Chain A
Amino acid sequence: MSMKGHSKSIQSRAGPSELQGEKTDAVPTANWRSWFQWDIEHGEWDIFVFATVLKLLLFPSYRSTDFEVHRNWLAITHSLPISKWYYDTTSEWTLDYPPFFAYFEKLLSVPAFLLDSKIVDLHNLKYESWSVIAYQRTTVIVSELVLVLALHRFIRDSVDPSTQRIISASIFLHPGFLIVDHIHFQYNGFLFGILLWSILMARNGNKLASGTLFAVLLNFKHIYMYLAPAYFIYLLRSYCMTPSGQVQVRNFLSLANMVIAVFLASLGPFALMGQLPQLFSRLFPFTRGLNHAYWAPNAWALVTAVDRVLLRYVQYRDLNVSVNTAGVASTSRGLVGDTVFAILPNVQPIHTFTATLASQSICLFKLWKTPTYKSFLTAITLCGYSSFLFGWHVHEKAVLLVLVPLSLLAAERQVYFRTFIIASVAGVYSLFPLLYTPAESFVKVIYSILWVTYVYVPLSKRIYEFPTTPATVALDIAEKLYLAGFPLLLLFVNAYTLWVKRRMINTEESGTDTMEFLPLMATSVYCAIGLVWGYVRLTYIYLHEDTYQGQLSEIG
């Protein structure tokens, strides 16, 4: 990164916020040339080549059902007219992403058809030839370029390019993407790429583009609604209003028009066909249980664990407490989709909804008062975090919604960095159960260790601050102990699984007697502790933000 770009960025950012209405018009024309100047450094190429080679080598690895899901969507969008997309039930993996993603699949289905027409055959279920594997895996790698370019842009105009380079590399190489996208199979790299472009636009002061891109993203995958409250407040406060609180009608209208246009492009065709109710019923199936098959490491996992422990205690002491029998059955299996508590009162969707909103409102209130970029970034993270911790039927993969924006804050100060490390280690570890096959287990563990090392060492050298008070020293030690527990947890999980397997061979016991679910439960609970703690930490830091001024605070 040259110094020239650096100083230019400072200048462009130093502009008073009143001028931003004009600036949004000026940016595209003045900077269009810079879009074609990438000046990628040697080391950046190295990282890119290494990552791509690794992803190529992962082609033959384990694939989850998501692979077949996406193949089926290719087939649906290619062989059916648009009016039938959200009605088709040939496969059990029906289309349940918003229309932009369907259009995206339609786009991908054209080369797929040319490559091997069997890929897009609607009735060719569970097609697993080399052509479809290579093609779909390649589309993940190629579409991830959106993320790569966004991350590269982040370096260009950042306050501290060399630190930002590490952060950008850490996001690009995030084990979450490797596990979820390149092994398990999804398109998160592409989608987070759009999110990062949107955040980048916010950083560069182009809030209209930021809002529009976020609207686009919502129409690709609706899970990003987790972050929507922060976007709403931020854009409303800092773009549609002046700092003194007056409404800027022109800005408001242009943003509203853009968002409406995006939604029209996405939902319009289906609205015209009168399919919106069907579409929404696909997008929001409210028939699932509180926890996913494997408990995502969130607050409900802790509550569930407490319930299980209480039940054991009640059974052991033979106490006279009303026990929900359905809950007992649920408990003994340990791993069911629909969680029913035995002792504690059951959790309804409305409870989770209230808890999410209540926890989000804390950070939203703060964001309203200080609508700066850094504050916005923290608020996005916290919004995603609240939804992840308290949401209904949260998937463990949703932890990426927390980890990716949090990474952008990692090098702010030691407090942020520590939060980032705890949440990342716990979050990445919580993704491990997604890959249960032994061969991939080596890959996920080794890769994650490498990633943590190469993110931790250079960043901690830059921003390490000694703990000063006895309380922070104690906290520091406790957190280190918690992190040191992960290798032990890994050891325990593997040893226990092996033990159960041998015991089931020898004594022909069933999985229930040997508590087969214990490793998963331990993983979920241990990770949940770290993630909840990370949330508490980040909320505290956010509310006392003035104390923790870092480089991002320079951005207005």
Chain B
Amino acid sequence: MHKRGLRDWVLPGALLTSTLIKCCIGLGSYSGKGTPPMYGDYEAQRHWMELTLHLPVREWYWYDLQYWGLDYPPLTGYVSWLCGVVGSWIEPSWFALDKSRGIETEGSKVFLRSTVLILDALIYVSALVVFANIWQAMRSKRTQNLALLTLLFQPALLLIDFGHFQYNSVMLGEENLGLTLHALNLFAMGHDLWGAVFFAFSLCFKQMALYYAPAIGTYLLAKCLYLGRPEGQVINWERLFVRLAIVTVFTFFLLFLPFLPPFAPLSGIGQAIRRIFPFARGLFEDKVSNFWCATNVVIKWKFWISRALLVKLSTLLTLLGSMPCVVILLSTARRMQFARQTAQESADMTAQPPFLALLPYALLTSSLSFFLFSFQVHEKTILLPLLPVTLLLSGAPIDSTAYTWGALVNNVAVFSMWPLLKKDGLGLQYTATLVLWNRLIGYNPFTWPPKSFTHIFSLAVYFAAISIHLLEMTVTPPQRYPDIFTVLNVLVCTPVFVLAWLWSVKSSLKVAWSLGGVSRKPENQKKGAEEERPSAEIRRRVWESGELAEDGETS
């Protein structure tokens, strides 16, 4: 494309093509299509538009909870309300209170699909474009475009958003990721405060953004640490810390305001929180490829341990799992601050710190730990770890481990959602998007002979996945084990996610180590502190050294 003078047309073309693919996926089935009385997630989202449109804000978390009561944070409610307003202007019957339940007219479907498309374009796609420009600033235009394509056509997100239509992980999850991504972009530009605001938005959109909270919180803390308290200057780190705290609290306060007195009775906020964090539900929903569900094959957790203890245990494990990213970020920041102090340099509060390269790995570690160990996980939640994985993959050269792992985790994540997609009637879209994306990133899962451990492991996983698909097509499951294929699916996917978690910790350590190497050279550091461009230079060096270190080990 580039050599034919199409350079300027790659970006609009990519955006338009991805929109086209999204529209085409949207032609297919969705969650709960034509299945009264409860329908599925599509209906849930439509119902929220209906109820937020017709009810005062204080009743949102109380209305007919048995029929898809609202159970996401307020920002979801506000956006649903906006969609409801626009939709009922076009056609009032789509969102008539109670009467519109289960409505599946041609028009209402197109409207709902297009709301996903528009919100996606406004928030997620825009964030991706900015990401490809900022995070890959030192790379060629071609790499930037390829990174964007990798992210735009990520199959798991396409399938869940535009196929399954679970607004709670679709528009919301989607937007949630988008908001988080905006936050990351802002961090990279050095606008920490705005980043924090966006992340707070993200949390108020969907509580699942908590998966990222340890990494983001630690990153901001690490930045405070890194700034330190240089002699003879205004006290830097306290100022940033206090500002961050104020901004975050204020954002939360604003978004929850309608649920607080005097606008609503005090019980309103309690109800909202109970709805948002449903600890009253089970350890996991359906079958999900995490630690609890996989080990449940051997150990029947529910019979051995009480729910209260399980909640505590899962929380403890989750925190332990996300510990590495906290420790690595903080220690790197501390070490670099020492190095800088000894080199007698000052740091600019608005410049990006050199350890920014650690952030995607940290996000991956913490979100994977939440996915693997926390309470009440859905299979769709794998989208959260997939964002940092795909961000890492998007910038990685084709022979790096980040590339191999990124592609593997993405493919396996889609495979882990197969039971759900099959139920939705999205088998065709499942195949099509997987083929398209793998072709796009130039990934051939079946390269022979395998060159590294990751390679052999990938091959084994793909072989297992394909075998399960073939078995499922040809054999009917035995009566005693009707879920046998789903369980097999879980058993194949969980080890991949566990290993991906390990890989993320290992990679963070390597990047941290190479950062340490950079920081000990004052002449480089001087460049880094000067302005935006040289710090990007350092990041590129870090990136490359990380890649080199990894390649050295694997080959």
Do residues B26 and A439 form an inter-chain contact, with CB atoms below 8 A?
Answer: yes
Do residues B29 and A53 form an inter-chain contact, with CB atoms below 8 A?
Answer: no
Do residues B20 and A60 form an inter-chain contact, with CB atoms below 8 A?
Answer: no
Do residues A461 and B5 form an inter-chain contact, with CB atoms below 8 A?
Answer: yes
Within 8 A of B (CB), among A433-460: 437-440, 442-443, 446-447, 449-450, 453-454, 457-458
Do residues A50 and B107 form an inter-chain contact, with CB atoms below 8 A?
Answer: no
Do residues A458 and B106 form an inter-chain contact, with CB atoms below 8 A?
Answer: no
Nearest Cβ distance between residue A351 and chain B, in whole angstroms? 41
Do residues B435 and A450 form an inter-chain contact, with CB atoms below 8 A?
Answer: no
CA separation between A454 and B5, bound complex, in Å? 11
Within 8 A of A (CB), among B104-159: 106-107, 109-110, 113-114
Given contacts A440-B27, A457-B6, whether A450 and B439 have CB atoms under 8 Å apart is no
Decide if B13 is an interface residue (CB 8 Å cutoff): yes
Given contacts A450-B17, A457-B9, whether A57 and B107 have CB atoms under 8 Å apart is no
**What 1/0 flags go to A461-489 for Cβ under 8 Å of B?**
10000000000000000000000000000
Do residues B439 and A46 form an inter-chain contact, with CB atoms below 8 A?
Answer: yes
CA separation between A450 and B14, bound complex, in Å? 10
A446, closest chain B residue (CB): B20
Decide if B428 is an interface residue (CB 8 Å cutoff): yes
Chain B residues near A458 (CB, 8 Å)? 4-6
Within 8 A of B (CB), among A178-195: none
Do residues A450 and B13 form an inter-chain contact, with CB atoms below 8 A?
Answer: yes
B8, closest chain A residue (CB): A457
Given contacts A438-B106, A446-B23, A450-B20, whether A56 and B13 have CB atoms under 8 Å apart is no
A457 touches which of B5, B27, B435, B436 (Cβ 8 Å): B5
**What 1/0 flags go to B69-113 for Cβ under 8 Å of A?**
000000000000000000000000000000000000011011001
Given contacts A437-B106, A454-B6, whether A443 and B27 have CB atoms under 8 Å apart is yes
Decide if B25 is an interface residue (CB 8 Å cutoff): yes
CA separation between A465 and B413, bound complex, in Å? 52
Do residues A439 and B23 form an inter-chain contact, with CB atoms below 8 A?
Answer: yes
CA separation between A50 and B428, bound complex, in Å? 15
A56, closest chain B residue (CB): B432
CA separation between A31 and B3, bound complex, in Å? 33
CA separation between A37 and B29, bound complex, in Å? 41
Decide if A58 is an interface residue (CB 8 Å cutoff): yes
Chain A residues near B23 (CB, 8 Å)? 439, 442-443, 446
Do residues B435 and A49 form an inter-chain contact, with CB atoms below 8 A?
Answer: yes
Nearest Cβ distance between residue A187 and chain B, in whole angstroms? 21
Do residues B6 and A53 form an inter-chain contact, with CB atoms below 8 A?
Answer: no
Chain A residues near B107 (CB, 8 Å)? 438
Decide if B452 is an interface residue (CB 8 Å cutoff): no
Do residues A57 and B106 form an inter-chain contact, with CB atoms below 8 A?
Answer: no
Chain B residues near A449 (CB, 8 Å)? 16
CA separation between A299 and B384, bound complex, in Å? 58
Chain B residues near A442 (CB, 8 Å)? 23, 114
Chain B residues near A166 (CB, 8 Å)? 4
CA separation between A440 and B106, bound complex, in Å? 11
Within 8 A of A (CB), among B19-62: 19-21, 23-29
Nearest Cβ distance between residue B473 and chain A, in whole angstroms? 14
B20 touches which of A54, A56, A59, A438 (Cβ 8 Å): A54
Chain A residues near B24 (CB, 8 Å)? 54, 57-58, 61, 443
Given contacts A457-B5, A458-B4, whether A60 and B29 have CB atoms under 8 Å apart is yes
Nearest Cβ distance between residue B76 and chain A, in whole angstroms? 25
CA separation between A134 and B110, bound complex, in Å? 23
**What 1/0 flags go to A49-90 for Cβ under 8 Å of B?**
110011011111100000000000000000000000000000
**What 1/0 flags go to A105-137 for Cβ under 8 Å of B?**
000000000000000000000000000001000
CA separation between A400 and B435, bound complex, in Å? 30
Within 8 A of B (CB), among A158-182: 166
Do residues B21 and A439 form an inter-chain contact, with CB atoms below 8 A?
Answer: no
Nearest Cβ distance between residue A354 and chain B, in whole angstroms? 44
Nearest Cβ distance between residue A56 and chain B, in whole angstroms? 4
Nearest Cβ distance between residue A129 and chain B, in whole angstroms? 12
Given contacts A438-B110, A443-B20, A446-B19, whether A58 and B27 have CB atoms under 8 Å apart is yes
Chain A residues near B367 (CB, 8 Å)? none
CA separation between A61 and B429, bound complex, in Å? 12
B436, closest chain A residue (CB): A53
Decide if B431 is an interface residue (CB 8 Å cutoff): yes
Given contacts A56-B431, A57-B432, A439-B23, whether A446 and B16 have CB atoms under 8 Å apart is yes
Do residues A450 and B106 form an inter-chain contact, with CB atoms below 8 A?
Answer: no
Chain B residues near A453 (CB, 8 Å)? 9, 12-13
Chain B residues near A439 (CB, 8 Å)? 23, 26-27, 106, 109-110, 113
Do residues B106 and A53 form an inter-chain contact, with CB atoms below 8 A?
Answer: no
Nearest Cβ distance between residue B196 and chain A, in whole angstroms? 37
Do residues A57 and B28 form an inter-chain contact, with CB atoms below 8 A?
Answer: yes
Chain B residues near A446 (CB, 8 Å)? 16, 19-20, 23
B27 touches which of A46, A53, A60, A447 (Cβ 8 Å): A60
Chain A residues near B431 (CB, 8 Å)? 56
Do residues B20 and A447 form an inter-chain contact, with CB atoms below 8 A?
Answer: yes
CA separation between A503 and B72, bound complex, in Å? 38
Chain B residues near A56 (CB, 8 Å)? 428, 431-432
Chain B residues near A457 (CB, 8 Å)? 5-6, 9
CA separation between A74 and B295, bound complex, in Å? 52
CA separation between A442 and B20, bound complex, in Å? 8
A460, closest chain B residue (CB): B5
CA separation between A439 and B110, bound complex, in Å? 6
Task: Report which residue of A57, A166, A450, A458 has the largest number of chain B beta carbons within 10 angstroms of its beta carbon.
Answer: A57
Selected A-B contacts with CB under 8 Å, 14 pairs = A53-B21, A53-B435, A57-B428, A60-B28, A60-B29, A61-B27, A134-B428, A166-B4, A438-B107, A443-B24, A449-B16, A450-B16, A450-B20, A457-B9
Given contacts A57-B429, A446-B19, 20 further A-B contacts (CB under 8 A): A53-B21, A54-B20, A54-B21, A57-B28, A57-B432, A59-B428, A60-B29, A437-B106, A438-B107, A439-B27, A442-B23, A443-B20, A443-B23, A447-B20, A449-B16, A450-B20, A453-B13, A454-B13, A458-B5, A458-B6
On A, residues with C-beta under 8 Å from B are 46, 49-50, 53-54, 56-61, 134, 166, 437-440, 442-443, 446-447, 449-450, 453-454, 457-458, 461
The list of the 5 closest CB pairs from A to B, nearest first, reads: A57-B24, A438-B110, A53-B436, A56-B432, A442-B23
